[in-house]
Amino acid sequence: MDIWSWICELLDSNEWSESNSPQTFLLAASKPTLLNKTSVQTIELRAERTFGSESESFLTFSIRFLESNSSSAAEIIIWTSDTCPLGSDKPFLPLIFQLLQEIVSRSPTAHDSTCPRSQLQKLKPEPVSWILDSHSPESFSNFFNFIFLAHLFWLCACDAPSEVGSLYFHSLLAPNLETFSRKAGPVLRNFFIAVGTDVEICFMRTFGYIAAKWLVSSEVEVGLQSLAPLPFHNLGFSYAMESHGLWILKGYSPVKSMQQCSNNARKNYQFPSIIEAKESVLKYALAHQQIEAVMQLEYTVGFNDGFIQVNARVDNLRLHVVKLGFKKNDMDGDWMDEKYFPSRVRVWVGPEVGASYVGGLSLGRSTDNMEREMEMQKSLKGTYGKSKVPKMKTMARMASRTKMKNWRWDQDSEGNAATFDAILCDNTTGVEIAMWKPLNGDGVQFRKRYAGGNRAFTKSGGLIFSGEEYKDGVRWRLSKEMEGSVLKWRIGAQVWLTYLPNDVNSSYYETRCIEWCDEVDLPLIPSKY
């Protein structure tokens, strides 16, 4: 499906010179069924040319749903675009900007967001124009497919009859889902950097919501068997960049598309085929959640007489699990408020595999040899003279105590790459939660985990690590010959999310994992000042 190429070809179409009849691009068409052999349903994108004053010409696009059979035909106009001036140097910029603006305006945001929706809708045209100018038509085509399909999703979900949405899911979303997660990536990354984080979150929550609906619908298997053969995992998006002395890795993934960890993928903790109404609400709530992660590492470069030293340390790790919805449903109470929580995060950074210019890697933290609490008590009794009643009694007690935090920090290396690992542990038993195999009744200490002064998460259920929490950095020594070059270094992360009941009584428990990996720049250019 190459909608953008078809739109661009409209400018040079010979048919416009012969007739002003509309041009049509077939988006989707239904297949005849045994029950309905004659009726055909289609979704079309139509372009119509109009004229203004002084022979100015314009294009207007519309999306239409048509249903026809042997005796009748019906047509519904789902959406109409603003006019696009054909005499402009960027005639289709208004169309692109309108699609983006309407996606942002309908995007689901977190329930407790502090940013008003009216402010999120203020998308500026300059970044959109820059994206259009700075990419080839082939790469921009994948990006346009992404925004067009996302925009069409909201039309089908909010403005169109149910049969339009069914046709969209079967004929458009299912075969083109790969466009969302992979092909649009390079342009999408540059677009996010240009428009800023607020718009980025709106887009990724739209994608997360679409992917969640697709995954839930594919499990229902009521007329959606065609969706089942497609992959269920890695439907998220991630990218990395270098900015002002920081290496930044951002990752998004619907929780339901994350890989389930094998250590707890047991029948005891899975939803049965027949579940109660409240368990069904819990399953629905957990399926509409998304992990949003930001990994920031601070780096510095020092130039010495015989070598170059690169230092790196954790600056900020931020993980949030957000609900992909529009409002709370008070009727379902605590069941809709249940959430996954981060139970482990692992970040690694280092030179490309096989790099010969690295002379050595030095880690900044030793393996923690923590002392355990010990208590010793001694008592002494004695008598003097002929009395049988003790006249003297002494007692001595000695104790040592150590503090155990919920999170344990480890540092390690894999070749020339350094790894930073934060692991959530039960502070009474020391068990790692991400690898836990709970028995009946276990996990009580993780109830009410978002309340109280000793909670291991933020009030909203997120997790923040700053540089103060993990002060130790790592160091690489590089060959002096690399001075003046810009190297490509790899950065990656793994995130584990666990669900344990918080405010409800349920036996359901699981842990899921997602991995991201990308490249960042390491400029080895000495400052002139």
For residues 21 and 351, which has the higher predicted lDDT (pLDDT)?
351
382 within some domain: no
- Of the candidate ranges 32-46, 96-110, 314-328, 480-494, the one whose mean pLDDT is the lowest: 32-46
Local confidence band at 280 (pLDDT 50, 70, 90 cut-offs): confident
Using the Cα atoms of residue 254, residue 260, residue 264 and residue 270 in order, give the sign of their dihedral: positive
Question: Please, are residues 314 and 363 in contact by the beta-carbon 8 Å criterion?
Answer: no
CA nearest to 173, candidates 212, 137, 138, 222: 212
Residues of the domain holding 256: 240-367+399-529
Local confidence band at 180 (pLDDT 50, 70, 90 cut-offs): low
CA nearest to 358, candidates 522, 520, 477: 477
Residues 224 and 252 in one domain: no
Taking 80 as the threshold, does the pLDDT of residue 55 lie above it?
Answer: no
Question: Please, are residues 406 and 430 in contact by the beta-carbon 8 Å criterion?
Answer: no
User: What's the confidence (pLDDT) of residue 443?
Assistant: 57
Question: Please, are residues 442 and 513 in contact by the beta-carbon 8 Å criterion?
Answer: no
Residues 118 and 263 in one domain: no
Q: What pTM does this model have?
A: 0.86
User: Which DSSP string do the residues of 315-339 spell out, in sequence order?
Assistant: EEEEEEEEE-SSS--GGGGGGGG--
Beta bridge partners of 409: 422
User: What's the confidence (pLDDT) of residue 12?
Assistant: 76
Taking 80 as the threshold, does the pLDDT of residue 88 lie above it?
Answer: yes
Report the percentage of the chain scoring pLDDT > 90: 39
Residues 278 and 410 in one domain: yes
Tell how strand 307-323 and strand 358-362 pair up.
unpaired
Tokens for 124? 């500026």
Q: Which amino acid type is present at position 188?
A: L
Which residues are CB-contacts of 470 (< 8 A; sequence separation ≥ 6)?
313, 314, 409, 420, 422
Question: Please, are residues 268 and 507 in contact by the beta-carbon 8 Å criterion?
Answer: yes
Residues 248 and 134 in one domain: no
374 within some domain: no
Residues 191 and 313 in one domain: no
DSSP reduced 3-state for 430: coil
User: What's the confidence (pLDDT) of residue 264?
Assistant: 54
| Mean pLDDT of the 231-247 span | 84
Q: What is the C-alpha separation between 194 and 485, in angstroms, rounded? A: 25
Q: Which amino acid type is present at position 176?
A: N
Tokens for 368? 């923690």
User: Which DSSP string do the residues of 98-122 spell out, in sequence order?
Assistant: HHHHHHHHH----TT-SS-HHHHT-
265 within some domain: yes
Encode pLDDT of 353-409 as tens digits.
888 888 888 888 777 666 556 666 666 666 656 666 656 666 666 665 556 678 888
Using the Cα atoms of residue 413, residue 418, residue 423 and residue 427 in order, give the sign of their dihedral: positive
CA nearest to 482, candidates 363, 349, 351, 297: 351
Q: What is the C-alpha separation between 150 and 49, in angstroms, rounded? A: 25
User: What's the confidence (pLDDT) of residue 419?
Assistant: 93
Select from 232, 259, 285 the last residue of a domain: 232
User: Which DSSP string do the residues of 231-283 spell out, in sequence order?
Assistant: --S---EEEEEEETTEEEEEEEEEGGGSEEPGGG--GGGSPPSS--HHHHHHH
Residues 207 and 350 in one domain: no
- Of the candidate ranges 177-191, 251-265, 351-365, 385-399, the one whose mean pLDDT is the lowest: 385-399
Q: What is the C-alpha separation between 431 and 423, in angstroms, rounded? A: 10
Residues 114 and 244 in one domain: no
From residue 87, give the alpha-carbon distance in Å to each of 24, 54, 59, 408.
21, 12, 11, 62
444 within some domain: yes
For residues 78 and 116, which has the higher predicted lDDT (pLDDT)?
78
Taking 70 as the threshold, does the pLDDT of residue 303 lie above it?
Answer: yes
Local confidence band at 272 (pLDDT 50, 70, 90 cut-offs): low
Select from 210, 232, 254 the last residue of a domain: 232
Beta bridge partners of 474: 312
Residues 85 and 191 in one domain: yes
Taking 50 as the threshold, does the pLDDT of residue 268 lie above it?
Answer: no
419 within some domain: yes
Using the Cα atoms of residue 113, residue 117, residue 118 and residue 124 in order, give the sign of their dihedral: positive
Most confident of 234-238, 273-277, 290-294, 401-405: 290-294
From residue 377, give the alpha-carbon distance in Å to each of 337, 397, 528.
48, 4, 67
- Of the candidate ranges 171-175, 191-195, 251-255, 281-285, the one whose mean pLDDT is the lowest: 171-175
Q: What is the mean pLDDT of the chain?
A: 82
User: What's the confidence (pLDDT) of residue 222?
Assistant: 45
Computed on alpha carbons and rounded to an integer, the radius of gyration of the chain in Å comes to 30
Question: Please, are residues 40 and 69 in contact by the beta-carbon 8 Å criterion?
Answer: yes
391 within some domain: no
User: What's the confidence (pLDDT) of residue 372?
Assistant: 57
What's the number of domains the chain is made of?
2
Taking 90 as the threshold, does the pLDDT of residue 340 lie above it?
Answer: yes
381 within some domain: no
Select from 168, 199, 232 the last residue of a domain: 232
Local confidence band at 281 (pLDDT 50, 70, 90 cut-offs): confident
Encode pLDDT of 129-169 as tens digits.
999 999 888 889 989 988 999 999 999 988 888 888 888 88
Residues 8 and 120 in one domain: yes
Question: Please, are residues 348 and 414 in contact by the beta-carbon 8 Å criterion?
Answer: yes
| Mean pLDDT of the 335-343 span | 90
Residues 11 and 107 in one domain: yes
User: What's the confidence (pLDDT) of residue 390?
Assistant: 59
Residues 247 and 228 in one domain: no
456 within some domain: yes
Taking 80 as the threshold, does the pLDDT of residue 496 lie above it?
Answer: yes
Q: What is the C-alpha separation between 201 and 109, in angstroms, rounded? A: 8
| Mean pLDDT of the 193-221 span | 86
The beta strand positions in 415-473, using DSSP E, are 417-424, 463-466
Taking 90 as the threshold, does the pLDDT of residue 110 lie above it?
Answer: no
Residues 295 and 226 in one domain: no
